Amino acid sequence: MDLEAVQDVKGALCPDFFHGYATAAAQVEGAWNKDGKGQSIWDTFSHTPGKVKDASNADDSVRSYDLYKEDVALMKSYGVNAYRFSLSWSRIIPLGGRNDPVNEQGLQYYSNLIDELLRNGITPFVTLFHWDTPQALEDRYGGALDQSQFVPDFVNYARVCFEHLGPKVRHWITFNEPGVFALAGYAAGVHAPARSSFRELNDVGDSSTEPFTVGHTQLVAHGHVSRLYKTTFQPHQQGTIGITLHGNWSEPWDEADPLDQEAAERAREFEIAWYADPLYRTGDYPASMRAQLGDRLPHFTPEESQLVLGSSEFYGMNTYTSFFVQHKDTPADINDHKGNIFSHDNNKQGVSRGAESDTHWLRYSPWGFRKLLNWVWARYRTPIYITENGTTAQGETAPTPEVLDDKFRIQFFEGYVGELARAVQCDGVDIRSYFAWTFTDNWEWAAGYSDRFGSTFIDYDSPEKTRHPKQSAYYLDKLFTHLISSP
């Protein structure tokens, strides 16, 4: 656990920098139908044969619902000062709707979790929506496809959370990665609710329109919830509210080719500015998206634009890797959502984007992370919270000494967090948190239990889902002790 590679940035981070782990309810809680919880679209998806890589479901997951006290104690031993987790909408309002009953047992669970975190000196960052729409709302009106119905239901859900949990929470996130929810669920059809134009995969859906409809709904819903919080709750609860966006760095495949330069910028706009421009910059979608998509991309009303612009008080960033991007000479396919580009693992000179993890799309590429931080800061000038960043590692099949000494993950954290510190110290980027993905190995959506992202190994075959700390957890503690300046 040598810190030689980050000696140049010792003390680069502010004394109140938040560092810890991020999780999602559907991936870690288990107890999928316990204590009054309703069904979510991910419960439906995971119980549908052929949808999940290893044919697993998240019924038990890693049992954080039952073992939250043990988990908080373990996090404390890892030296964290913050924990980002999501609430399950269908655990709090089982049927989801604004006229449906609230489940007091669900609220009590989250209240108990928050109390346990605070008792242990760990600041809660609470996400309202991490992809798990109540199935009842999907059945009633198609979930986020119906903005007129979804928005008031989501605002009501948020109000319940602010009323019951807000007095103890100072950091709220409305939506986690609205772009991934829209693209994986409605364009590719490989996530819940499993809609796309590809009939060999999904029975229903339209990849050319639905992702953009769903994205628009999420932006407007975020705007309404942000306004509710700021006007009704923030004056006495004194918290902050924002959104978390996904986005990886796109680098030109041929640095000398202006068309590849344009393609890389366009890829960043399609992936990141799709949401960030309306929120932080213009109140509207990027011109490059409108040029390709036309009226398939919804139009903001003047009221919606005013509602959304400036509604997020920070920039929540989930990022993992980098890609080399090359332009296409042919017209964009009607189902294209990337900006009509090719994506490569190597550039024109044969340079790799980075070492392979155990996940096909994820390569170790901290070089792109710093570029991304600077791009986002230059474009939006909004304080950045890194809300997810992490990796899988090859060969993590059993809790052997070699697996628990997870050198690849340690290298990943050292590289990425080091570049974060350099972006702060050398480039002047305002960055206020780093949440590693993730605390424990968990149920990784359509990948099931085959992708292990955790700094804690989980024995899925044991009734207690036995936790085995990996060395990366202790390394992160040492790393932030080195990087965070004294008060």
**What amino acid positions are annotated as catalytic residues?**
177, 388
47 alpha-carbon distance from chain centroid: 23
Cα(234)–Cα(439) distance, integer angstroms: 29
**104-119 and 147-165 are packed helices; what angle lies between their axes, rounded to 10 degrees?**
50
Report d(CA 392, CA 472) in Å as an integer. 12
The full length of the chain comes to 487
Contact 461, 397 (CB under 8 A): no
Phi-psi region of 215 (alpha: psi -120 to 50; beta: other; left: phi over 0): alpha
Give just the sign of the alpha carbon dihedral 168, 171, 175, 176: negative
Residue 485's φ and ψ, nearest 5 degrees, are: -75, 160
Q: Which of 432, 410, 411, 412 is nearest to 421 (CA)?
A: 432
The letter for the amino acid at 271 is: E
- What's the half-sphere exposure (Cβ side, CA atoms, 13 Å) at 334? 10
Instruction: Compute the distance between CA of residue 88 and CA of residue 65 in angstroms, rounded to an integer.
Output: 11
Rounded Cα–Cα distance for residues 253 and 58 (Å): 39
